[in-house]
Amino acid sequence: MTAPRPEVALIVSRHSGRPHPARRVSAACRVALRDEYSVGLTLAADAALAQRVSLSAEGPLAGPGESLQITLGEGPCVQAMRQHLPLLVDDIDVLDETSQWPVFARRAREHGIRAVYALPVQGGSASVQQAGLVLTLYRDRSGPLSRTDLEAARHHAAAVDLLLLSAPAPSAQIPGYAWLLPAHAVIHQAVGVIAYRHSVPMGEALARLRSHALALDSPLPSLAHAVVHEDLDLPEPPGPHRP
């Protein structure tokens, strides 16, 4: 394994062995960027973010930004994971930049998000093969991300990757940090319930759950909890959404 860059090693040394390292590093990243950005960290097993962990959301824009992406199943984090490349969107009002996630762009504007930069961890570690770790910066004004800020964000993302890889897994047979993913998350339970009740494929059940969450303006986990634990039925998908 290649030795980490000195900047990354320094961040790791500051937070190693302390509780909630991902949150601590996210907060440190925000400070390093002069509090000009909100910082979100997402760990996902697939690019659709159906099975994921929100490791942290620091700053006023990160919570809405991260929640919208899991509810909608689209957004800059999803695109960056699929392409395995950074996605730097200086202005979400530019339609060419947001063509793969138009609904997220519209909803993000309502929360004051004007620019977004999604940085998937790239380093060839085993964890990247098992799950996707993405650090996303959200900003309330448009404009480019400076090279200095980009490098600082990348260093913090790489530090989180190393800290998670060094965390003790409950089983030696579980590679990387895949053990952090919720194998029986309520979203997956709800998808299974919907698929069983209505004899539809799992993909269609997930699409139905997301469609209702969007129509009801409800976070996906909250609606999934109601399906599983409150016997909420979603027999018919709402009408098609128009961005």
pLDDT tens-place string over residues 70-83: 888 899 998 998 88
Q: Which fold is adopted by the domain 6-166?
A: Beta-Lactamase (3.30.450)
Res. 129 pLDDT band, cuts 50 70 90: very low
Q: Are 128 and 121 in contact (CB under 8 A)?
A: yes
Sign of CA dihedral 136, 36, 144, 242: positive
- Per-residue model confidence as pLDDT tens digits over 139-165: 999 999 999 999 999 999 999 988 887
Which one has a higher pLDDT value, 46 or 193?
A: 193
Q: Are 34 and 149 in contact (CB under 8 A)?
A: no
Residue 65 identity (one-letter amino acid): G
Using DSSP, state whether 102 is helix, strand or coil. Answer: helix
Q: Where are the alpha helices (DSSP H) in 45-185?
A: 62-72, 76-83, 102-110, 126-130, 147-166
Closest by CA position to 87, among listed 138, 156, 123? 138
**Count of CB atoms within 10 A of residue 46's CB?**
14
Q: Name the residue with tokens 């490349």.
A: 85
* Spatial distance between the Cα atoms of 130 and 66, rounded to a whole number of angstroms: 21
**H or E, element range at 115:** strand 115-120
Residues β-bridged to residue 53:
43
- pTM to 2 decimals? 0.77
Quick one: pLDDT at residue 198?
87
* Spatial distance between the Cα atoms of 206 and 192, rounded to a whole number of angstroms: 9
Q: How many helices (H) and strands (E) does the chain have?
A: 10, 5
Residue 203 identity (one-letter amino acid): G
Opening angle at CA 175, ends 171 and 178, nearest 5: 90
Quick one: pLDDT at residue 230?
87
Question: Tokens in use for 145?
Answer: 């991300």
Lowest mean pLDDT among 126-130, 178-182, 233-237: 126-130
Q: Are 185 and 227 in contact (CB under 8 A)?
A: no
Q: DSSP assignment, residue 137?
A: E
Quick one: pLDDT at residue 35?
96
Q: Name the residue with tokens 């062995």.
A: 17
Closest by CA position to 52, among listed 64, 67, 30, 37? 67
* Spatial distance between the Cα atoms of 152 and 145, rounded to a whole number of angstroms: 11
Q: Where are the domains of the chain?
A: 6-166, 186-229
Question: Tokens in use for 147?
Answer: 């090279």
Quick one: pLDDT at residue 243?
42
Across the chain, what does the average pLDDT equal? 84
Q: How far apart are the two ends of the chain, measured CA to CA in Å? A: 45
Closest by CA position to 86, among listed 8, 149, 168? 149
Half-sphere exposure (CA, 13 Å, Cβ side) for 125?
Answer: 26
